[in-house]
Amino acid sequence: SHLCPLFLAQLPPPARRSQLLYVTLPRVSSVRVPPPDAMDVTDLRRKVDQGDAEAQHTLGYCYYCGKHVPQDYAEAAVLWRRAAEQGHVDAQYNLGICYREGEGVPQDDREAVRWRRLAV
């Protein structure tokens, strides 16, 4: 059994999973994420629609882990891009990993390096 360290949701076996959650785990400590049982996805979506980068980043994690929403790497990447374009460092880093792994976006090493460098 493999669990998402953020939401304790089931993850695919290691052969089908990127290193995204493990590579970014130290950065999670700076992200304010409500406890899974208390998360109000409706409120989070409202904040996303208002352009809140932190909400975009958090909802991206929800989509990546499949917690409170169906798992969808493409939607996670879209949300992380929106936050990353506003300068959200964790979203920039995560988007770079998505490009490196080809999760939710076409695999592109050049884009991966570009986004990860912005996060430094």
Q: What is the per-residue burial (b if ≥16 Cβ within 10 Å, else e) of 62-88?
A: bbbbbbbbebbbebbbbbbbbbbeeeb
- End-to-end distance of the chain based on CA atoms, in angstroms? 33
pLDDT in tens, the chain (120 residues): 444 444 444 445 554 444 444 444 334 333 334 455 556 788 899 999 999 999 999 999 889 888 889 999 999 999 999 999 999 999 999 999 899 989 999 999 999 999 988 888
What's the pTM? Answer: 0.70
Our measurement of the distance from residue 111's CA atom to the centroid of its chain's CA atoms, rounded to an integer in Å, reads 16
Rounded-to-integer distance, Cα 2 and Cα 95, Å: 22
